[in-house]
Each structure stands twice: as structure tokens, then as C-alpha cells.
């Protein structure tokens, strides 16, 4: 009895210890720790060293991790956030999921698999790795780049798509004709609707007063317990109704997302979620059969190559349809050319429902693991590959015919690259001083806004020589680069220097560490964003200390703002 109790505990401790060590190793190598967790499970699992055999306890713990993970995602989901994703997220992400699913399913059918199995494989391939991609982009300071923002929008939509995909794959495990399966699908939707309604009533009429109790506000431990009860209770209720437990946890989180305590709940369960989610990734790594993989390397390599290339092509095409340059589209496609961690949830659902057999299961797990391991290297090469694709295809930025007459006689004008919040502040000064200016931005919406302010606008990439010549760069008196992405800034500054070395450049540095790099690229003045924020905060600190204790804060006067802007 004692051995029976402690053996699963020993397995969990061994797995977590290996995950810790390998996670640290991958972090030191500037890779995602998730790769370390997967490798820990692969090495210690029954398919390799066999130190841990898995078992029901490890599997159940991993399933709890999935429930908590989707509960946390539900806490972050709201209609407002969905709108903020923008067209490339909503439209592009939806198109990517549908097209990738269809293309993968079609190829699977051509390879002789059944329709159900093909759809399940398509659902797995449709998802990319949010954790790995965002981590690599963040480490490379490319989150604010054009391909980084595109990837983020599509990944957010994919996270939302996990729920219907899990539901669809779960339905495929049912028996019966197409009509019977359709009827089962309608019943599932009805059950989900009932669950959503129940969660809505509970969250608004039961949880609302509970969350406002002084005991919960004083003791965060009680808030953690409440969150765990909600997540696991919703998962249990969904299981009893024959619905995916992960879906039930997601719906519970989504209903709680509108609560003012959502952020605090998400923060409080963070450590607990990390524990269970780590075990989830480790347990997925344990699914790998190293002996089988070593005997089928050509098969797995071919499928991974087909997966990476095919997915990159689909996503590139979708991004191009939204009128992005080939360079940015190719970079976005390569960033998302892998199978994501949530696909393992779909794989388990498909396996449990008998939709895929053991052979397909081994192939998909192996291909998914390999695609995740090579993701950091592909993401690192994505911008360079995009630039080569742009040059190879001979595609240039389209010139806006409506501005050609305005561009023909430009002289002593300011070239303003980027028309986000920072660029718009610069534009205010240019408009008030009646200084002629040309705005360059990749987003037509921003160019429309610039024209509305009376400025000349040009849709295009500021690093393109053709675009810069089109706005008469050699005749300009000043170039101002307001983009947040330091790689884009350095590329633009270098291109401006090559075309018009006598035109002064003012550039933005998002972080202090990039100031010197941008200066060396040719910018005469670099605005250090962190330094400017420090100045503003020091001003507010001085004003707060000058007020009597307890006095309400006052708004900054125009004179103080001017002093802050001109102070050193």
C-alpha cells in the first residue's frame, strides 16, 4: 500500500526535477523552457530510458493542467480583446485555420486515411505554438515588428479556435451516419449553450457577491481555492455531460473574465497552473517512442518538411491577401510553421475517441515534437527569408497613384516614417508649423488618417529604396522614424543614409539598450524611450512630493509639459 501510494509521487518528482534541469538548460540557450519539459518526458518516458512509466496518476495530473490552462485562457478572453486583434487576426486567423485544416485533411485523404482521421489531423495541424513563437519573438525583440504583430494576431485567434476544434474532433469519435453525427453535434451545442447560460447566472448572481466579501479580499488563498473549484468543477460538469472537460474549464474562465477580479484570479493561480501545465508537457514528451522514431526517420522528416512548407505557404498567402508585403508575409508564415502545444489536446481527444490509430498517433506526436524543437531556429531565420523572398520575386511596394502629383514637387519637406501614436504627435507639430511632410506607413488606415490631417501619405515600407525615392528623399530636410521595432528602424536609417547621406535623421529607440546600435546605423538624434519615461516619472514624483500628504493629484499643466519635453 505504501509503495503503491509513493510510486506515483516519485514519478512526478522525477519528472518535475528533470523538467527543471532541462528547462534551465534551454533557457540558458535562449530557447523556450517548454522544449526542456518535452525533452524531459521523452528521455525519462517508456519510449527511451524508461525511468518513469507514466500511469493514471501522471495522466490525470496532466489533464488537470490542461483544464487550468484553458481556464486561464478563458479569463483573458473577451469580446473587446477579440475586436482588438484586428483584421489580420480575425479575418486572417480564421482563414488560416480553415485553409490549413482543409489542406491537411485533403492531403491525408490522398494518403489513404479515412475522412474522420483526416479532419482530426487537419485540426491538429491548424494550430501553431503560442508559447514557443511568442517567447522567441520576445527574446529577439521582434514582437513589435510587422511579422511579430501579424503572428500575435493569428495566434490569438488560434487560441480561441482550440475550443471548437476540440469539440469537432470529439464528435468524430461518435458512431453513426452523417445525419446522426450532425444530430449529436446539435445536441452538444445545446448542452454547451446550457452550460454557458448556467455559468453566466452563477457568475453574475452567485459569484459576484461572493467575490466582494471582505474575507476573499483580505485573503488571496481563498481566491485561489475559489478559482480551482470553479475550473475543476466546470471541467467535471462538462465531463458528466459528455463534453470535453477542457472546454468546460474554458467556458468557466470566459464567464469570469468580465469580473473585475479576473486579473487577480489569473495572477493567483499562476504558480499552480505552472505546476500542472509543466506536467502536461512532460507527459506529452513521454508519448514519444524513440525506438519507433529511430526506425522511421525518413517518414517523420518528410512529414515535418511537408508540414512546415505547406503551413508556411498557406499562411503567407493569407497574409498577402491582407495586402502585406511579401517579406512580412513570408516571415509571418515561417514563424507559425509548426504544430502547437494545444494540438496535443486534440491528439489525445482523437486517440481517446478512436479517430486515429496507434500508427497515426506515433507519426503525429513525433512530427509535432520535431516541429516544436526546430521552431526557434525557423523563427530566427524568418525575417531574412522574407527579405530574400521579396528580392527573388522582384516584388516592390505598390505606389499610390493618388499621391504622384503631390510628390512631384516636394522640397524641404519632412519624411515621417510610421504613423502610430508617436508619429501622430510629431504630425501635430508639423501641421501647426505648416511644414510640408510626407507620411510613410504600411497601413492604409494610417495613411487615410494622415491625409485627413492635411499631410501627404504614401502606403509602403520605409526601408524600400523605391518608396524613399518616390517621396523625393534627397530633397527632404529631415527624416523622422517613429517605428517601435528596432530592426525596422536600423534598416530604414541605413537605407536613408545610403540614398541621402546629408539628410539628418531622428529615430526612436524602444529600449535604452538599442540606442547605440541605432546611432551607429546613421541616426543623428535617437530618442531613448525609457529615458523619456524616466524623466516624466521623475517629474510626477517631484510634483507628488511637493503636495501636502493626502492632497489629490493634479493634472500636469501645459507649462509643465513643455518643461518636461525640453528638459535634459
Q: C-alpha 171: how far from its chain's center?
A: 28
265 and 221 fall within a common domain: yes
pLDDT at 496: 92
462 and 375 fall within a common domain: no
Name which of 329, 500, 288, 331 is nearest 413 in CA terms: 500
467 and 411 fall within a common domain: yes
Q: Give 525's DSSP letter.
A: E
Name which of 333, 337, 298, 297 is nearest 315 in CA terms: 333
**What CATH number should be reported for the domain holding residue 455?**
3.40.50.720
Give dist(CA 510, CA 418) in Å, integer.
Answer: 14
233 and 302 fall within a common domain: yes
Name residue, grid cell 510510486.
Answer: 7
241 CB-near residues (< 8 Å, 6+ apart): 191, 195, 248
Structural domain includes residue 257 = yes
Give dist(CA 356, CA 272) in Å, integer.
Answer: 32
Helix residue ranges, H only, 296-357: 297-321, 326-335, 343-352
Residue 42 is part of which domain span? 2-391
Domains: count for the chain: 2
| Cell numbers that stand for 97 in this block | 485555420
SS3 516: helix
Q: Taking a C-beta distance cutoff of 8 angstroms, is the pair 62, 246 a contact?
A: no
Give dist(CA 431, CA 412) in Å, integer.
Answer: 15
Structural domain includes residue 487 = yes
Report CA-CA distances (Å) from 74 to 86, 251, 255, 360, 399.
19, 6, 8, 31, 43
Q: 370 exposed, middle or buried (CB, 10 Å; 0-12, 13-18, 19+)?
A: buried
294 and 431 fall within a common domain: no
Name residue, grid cell 491548424.
Answer: 126
| Cell numbers that stand for 221 in this block | 488563498
340 and 415 fall within a common domain: no
First-to-final CA distance of the chain:
72
Report CA-CA distances (Å) from 261 to 216, 231, 254.
11, 15, 13
Give dist(CA 38, CA 43) in Å, integer.
Answer: 9
491 CB-near residues (< 8 Å, 6+ apart): 463
Q: Taking a C-beta distance cutoff of 8 angstroms, is the pair 330, 316 a contact?
A: yes
Structural domain includes residue 523 = yes
439 and 297 fall within a common domain: no
Q: Taking a C-beta distance cutoff of 8 angstroms, is the pair 195, 146 a contact?
A: no
Q: C-alpha 471: how far from its chain's center?
A: 35
Structural domain includes residue 444 = yes
The pTM for the full model equals 0.68
**Cα–Cα–Cα angle for 217, 218, 221, nearest 5°?**
90
Name residue, grid cell 491538429.
Answer: 124
pLDDT at 563: 46
65 and 136 fall within a common domain: yes
413 and 387 fall within a common domain: no
Report CA-CA distances (Å) from 135 to 74, 129, 139.
21, 10, 6
pLDDT at 222: 73
pLDDT at 400: 45
Over its length of 568 residues, how does the chain's per-residue pLDDT go in tens digits?
455 667 777 888 888 899 899 988 988 877 777 788 888 888 888 777 878 766 566 666 666 766 777 777 677 665 565 566 567 878 888 999 999 999 999 999 998 888 889 999 999 999 998 777 877 787 676 776 788 888 888 887 887 788 788 878 877 876 555 566 667 667 777 777 777 777 777 767 776 677 666 555 566 677 777 777 877 888 888 877 777 677 777 777 777 776 666 666 666 666 777 777 787 778 778 877 888 888 889 999 999 999 999 999 999 999 999 888 888 899 999 999 999 877 887 887 888 888 888 888 889 988 988 898 888 889 888 988 988 888 787 555 444 444 444 455 678 899 999 998 899 999 999 999 989 999 998 877 888 888 888 888 888 888 888 788 888 888 899 999 999 888 889 989 998 998 889 999 999 998 888 899 999 999 999 999 999 999 889 988 988 888 787 666 665 555 445 444 444 4
Name which of 327, 314, 334, 340 is nearest 379 in CA terms: 334
Residue 419, number of CB atoms within 10 A of its CB: 26
Structural domain includes residue 396 = no
| Cell numbers that stand for 320 in this block | 498577402
Name which of 381, 392, 346 is nearest 365 in CA terms: 346
74 and 168 fall within a common domain: yes
Which residue among 329, 360, 391 closes a domain?
391
Which residue among 391, 425, 446 closes a domain?
391
101 and 187 fall within a common domain: yes
Q: C-alpha 476: how far from its chain's center?
A: 38
Name which of 91, 129, 162 is nearest 336 in CA terms: 129
Which residue among 338, 359, 391 closes a domain?
391
**What CATH number should be reported for the domain holding residue 119?**
1.20.1530.20
176 and 300 fall within a common domain: yes
Amino acid at each position: 500500500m505504501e509503495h503503491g501510494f509513493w510510486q506515483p509521487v516519485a514519478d512526478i518528482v522525477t519528472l518535475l526535477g528533470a523538467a527543471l534541469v532541462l528547462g534551465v538548460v534551454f533557457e540558458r540557450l535562449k530557447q523556450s523552457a517548454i522544449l526542456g519539459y518535452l525533452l524531459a518526458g521523452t528521455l525519462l518516458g517508456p519510449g527511451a530510458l524508461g525511468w518513469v512509466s507514466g500511469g493514471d496518476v501522471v495522466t490525470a495530473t496532466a489533464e488537470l493542467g490542461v483544464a487550468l490552462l484553458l481556464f486561464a485562457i478563458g479569463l483573458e478572453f473577451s469580446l473587446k480583446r477579440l475586436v482588438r486583434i484586428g483584421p489580420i487576426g480575425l479575418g486572417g486567423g480564421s482563414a488560416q485555420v480553415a485553409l490549413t485544416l482543409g489542406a491537411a485533411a485533403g492531403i491525408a485523404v490522398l494518403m489513404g486515411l479515412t475522412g474522420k482521421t483526416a479532419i482530426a489531423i487537419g485540426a491538429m495541424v491548424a494550430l501553431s505554438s503560442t508559447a514557443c513563437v511568442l517567447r522567441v519573438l520576445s527574446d529577439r525583440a521582434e514582437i513589435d515588428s510587422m511579422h511579430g504583430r501579424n503572428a500575435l494576431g493569428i495566434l490569438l485567434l488560434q487560441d480561441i479556435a482550440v475550443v471548437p476544434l476540440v469539440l469537432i474532433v470529439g464528435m468524430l469519435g461518435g458512431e453513426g451516419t452523417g445525419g446522426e453525427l450532425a444530430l449529436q453535434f446539435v445536441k452538444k451545442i445545446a448542452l454547451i449553450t446550457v452550460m454557458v447560460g448556467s455559468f453566466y447566472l452563477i457568475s453574475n448572481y452567485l459569484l459576484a457577491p461572493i467575490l466582494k466579501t471582505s474575507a476573499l479580499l483580505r485573503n488571496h488563498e481563498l481566491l485561489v481555492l475559489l478559482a480551482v473549484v470553479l475550473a475543476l468543477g466546470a471541467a467535471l460538469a462538462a465531463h458528466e455531460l459528455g463534453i470535453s472537460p477542457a472546454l468546460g474549464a474554458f467556458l468557466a474562465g470566459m464567464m469570469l473574465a468580465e469580473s473585475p477580479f479576473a486579473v487577480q484570479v489569473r495572477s493567483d493561480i499562476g504558480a499552480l497552473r505552472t505546476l500542472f501545465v509543466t506536467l502536461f508537457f512532460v507527459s506529452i514528451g513521454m508519448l514519444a517512442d524513440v525506438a519507433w522514431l529511430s526506425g522511421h526517420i525518413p517518414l517523420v522528416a518528410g512529414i515535418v518538411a511537408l508540414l512546415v512548407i505547406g503551413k508556411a505557404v498557406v499562411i503567407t498567402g493569407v497574409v498577402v491577401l491582407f495586402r502585406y508585403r511579401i517579406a512580412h508575409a513570408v516571415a509571418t508564415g515561417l514563424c507559425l510553421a509548426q504544430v502547437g502545444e494545444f494540438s496535443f489536446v486534440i491528439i489525445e481527444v482523437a486517440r481517446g475517441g478512436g479517430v486515429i490509430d496507434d500508427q497515426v498517433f506515433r507519426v503525429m506526436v513525433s512530427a509535432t515534437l520535431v516541429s516544436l524543437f526546430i521552431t526557434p531556429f525557423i523563427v530566427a531565420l524568418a525575417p531574412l527569408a522574407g527579405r530574400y523572398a521579396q528580392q527573388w520575386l522582384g516584388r516592390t511596394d505598390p505606389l499610390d497613384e493618388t499621391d504622384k502629383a503631390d510628390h512631384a514637387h516636394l522640397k524641404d519637406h519632412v519624411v515621417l516614417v510610421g504613423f502610430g501614436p508617436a508619429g501622430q504627435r510629431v504630425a501635430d507639430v508639423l501641421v501647426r508649423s505648416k511644414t510640408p511632410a510626407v507620411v510613410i506607413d504600411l497601413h492604409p488606415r494610417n495613411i487615410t488618417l494622415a491625409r485627413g490631417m492635411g499631410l501627404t501619405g504614401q502606403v509602403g515600407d520605409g526601408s524600400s529604396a523605391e518608396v524613399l525615392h518616390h517621396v523625393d528623399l534627397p530633397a527632404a530636410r529631415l527624416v523622422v522614424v517613429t517605428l517601435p521595432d528596432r530592426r525596422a528602424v536600423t534598416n530604414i536609417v541605413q537605407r536613408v543614409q545610403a540614398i541621402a547621406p546629408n539628410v539628418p535623421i531622428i529615430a526612436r529607440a524602444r529600449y535604452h539598450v538599442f540606442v547605440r546600435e541605432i546611432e551607429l546605423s546613421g541616426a543623428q538624434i535617437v530618442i531613448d524611450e525609457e529615458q523619456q519615461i524616466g524623466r516624466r516619472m521623475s517629474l510626477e514624483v517631484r510634483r507628488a512630493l511637493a503636495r501636502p500628504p493626502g492632497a489629490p493629484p493634479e493634472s500636469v499643466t501645459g507649462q509643465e509639459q513643455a518643461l518636461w519635453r525640453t528638459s535634459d
